[in-house]
């Protein structure tokens, strides 16, 4: 797993979100990478991870989309926008979750709050119900604290880490 972004100097809310994201990656089997994206498409949090057994079995396997959490954030933002547009055209109401099953992986996107999204790239053999359940736990815990001030703090933290 890529070294996590330092949480030194962050507010307790920001540290808690980093902790929740780390737990999602470390505790849910099959999760490759995770990104939290704001409504304007900017990455707020990310954690590149690889399923350790898959990586050990195939050293050429990629961590995530092209190995980059920025790529995952872009995909999550685009898919979120596409499904939101589809829901409007179909008078479907709010989009709560989107899941894409592929031959070599799965992609989950779940709404957090105010247009923010949680995206998870997982292995093709992951237990989709377990991934969705843990995503819902993250959303339930993160949604009420993801204020505009916290989003700004998280963006600045990512920018300074680069």
- Provide the number of structural domains found in the chain: 1
- Strand ranges across the sheet with 31-37: 43-48, 31-37, 117-122, 105-111, 97-102
Answer whether residue 155 is part of any domain: yes
Using a 10 angstrom Cβ sphere, with 0-12 exposed, 13-18 middle and 19 or more buried, the burial of residue 16 is middle
CATH number, domain with residue 53: 3.30.450.30
3-state secondary structure of 107: strand
pTM: 0.83
Query: Model confidence over 34-77: pLDDT tens digits?
Result: 999 998 889 999 986 333 333 334 434 444 454 567 889 999 99
Answer whether residue 69 is part of any domain: yes
Query: Model confidence over 85-134: pLDDT tens digits?
Result: 999 999 999 999 999 999 999 999 999 988 899 999 999 999 999 999 99
Q: Return the structure tokens found at 39.
A: 């409504």
Distance in angstroms (rounded) separating the CA atoms of residues 108 and 150:
24
Other beta carbons less than 10 A from residue 115's beta carbon: 15
Answer whether residue 109 is part of any domain: yes
Answer whether residue 23 is part of any domain: no
Q: Return the structure tokens found at 63.
A: 């961590």
Where in the sequence is the domain holding 144, given as residue range(s)?
30-161
């Amino acid at each position: 797993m890529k070294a996590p972004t330092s949480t030194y100097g962050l507010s307790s809310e920001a540290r808690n979100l980093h902790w929740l994201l780390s737990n999602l990656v470390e505790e849910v089997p099959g999760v490759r990478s995770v990104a939290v994206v704001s409504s304007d498409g900017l990455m707020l949090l990310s954690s590149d991870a690889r399923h350790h057994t898959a990586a050990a079995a195939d050293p050429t396997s990629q961590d995530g989309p092209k190995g980059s959490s920025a790529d995952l954030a872009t995909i999550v933002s685009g898919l979120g926008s596409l499904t939101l547009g589809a829901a409007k055209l179909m008078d479907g109401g709010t989009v709560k979750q989107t899941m894409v099953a592929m031959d070599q992986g799965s992609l989950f996107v779940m709404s957090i709050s105010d247009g923010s999204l949680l995206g998870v790239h997982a292995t093709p053999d992951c237990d989709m119900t377990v991934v969705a359940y843990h995503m819902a736990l993250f959303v339930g815990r993160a949604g009420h604290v993801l204020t505009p001030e916290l989003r700004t703090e998280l963006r600045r933290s990512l920018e300074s880490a680069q």
